[in-house]
Amino acid sequence: MKANTEKYRCLIIEDEPLAAEILSTFIGMDNKLELVEVCSDAIHGSAVLKRESIDLLFLDLHLPVLKGFDFLKKLENPPAVVVTTAYHEYAAEGFDLDVLDYLLKPIPLQRFQKAVGKFKQFIKTQEALLEFGEREFIVVSIAKKQHKIYLNDIFYIESFREYIVIHTKTDDIKVKMPISKIENMLDVSKFKRVHKSYIISLEKIEITSSAEVTVNSTKIPVGRSYGLIG
């Protein structure tokens, strides 16, 4: 869960200057929100999502080049999405795509605040999903769905900026989460962070040296600041 001083990072993809200005103003009125960028089309928005960690996306549907829903369907592990549009008939399709809320233009402040309230509640619920079940498995939220991962199945966890990949016996599971968060949830007697980008299952170690360990035939570097594996 975010510390009290941290803010939820927002991205606006909106080609109408007035609508973008209104959303920007509303975001600035909430001390828990931070506006990262305003994009006038989905191509620009896609580039921002690749380089920035975004918590909440305000997405217009009628965009040039690539329409909002077409853009959303192409996203892998999208942030929470609030759709904005002047056309109410798209609401059903929006909820089919698991959008968090649907704002009809012109957007009143009270309605914006209600959508943001839904987002904050969603974040709290998502954070609560990462917990132990009798210390045998963790539950993570991926695309708003719960996934159970048994600890005995985990070989190692790898970090890629704001995402982690949990390598298991059956699958590689990508989750939007900092590695420090899942590190705090794991039993230190069974898992160890050996590098800024890696956590390993101690019982799955096959070969060890001062510079690296091998887990599931994968060589993993050992960072000096994280200590050596015995």
Residue range 61-82, pLDDT digits in tens: 888 888 888 898 888 778 899 9
Mean pLDDT value across the chain: 86
Model confidence over 111-162: pLDDT tens digits? 999 999 999 988 876 665 555 444 688 878 777 677 888 899 999 999 987 7
The CATH architecture to which 8-128 belongs is: 3-Layer(aba) Sandwich (3.40)
Cite the residue boundaries of each domain of the chain with CATH code 3.40.50.2300: 8-128
Q: What's this model's pTM, rounded to 2 decimal places?
A: 0.59
User: What is residue 207's predicted lDDT score, i.e. its pLDDT?
Assistant: 92
Compute φ and ψ for 215, nearest 5 degrees: -130, 125
Architecture of domain 137-226: Beta Barrel (2.40)
pLDDT in the model for residue 91:
52
pLDDT for the residue numbered 15: 93
Distance CA 155, CA 172 (A): 10
Residue 24: pLDDT band (50, 70, 90) is very high
Chain position carrying tokens 């506006």:
35
Domain with CATH 2.40.50.1020 in the chain: 137-226
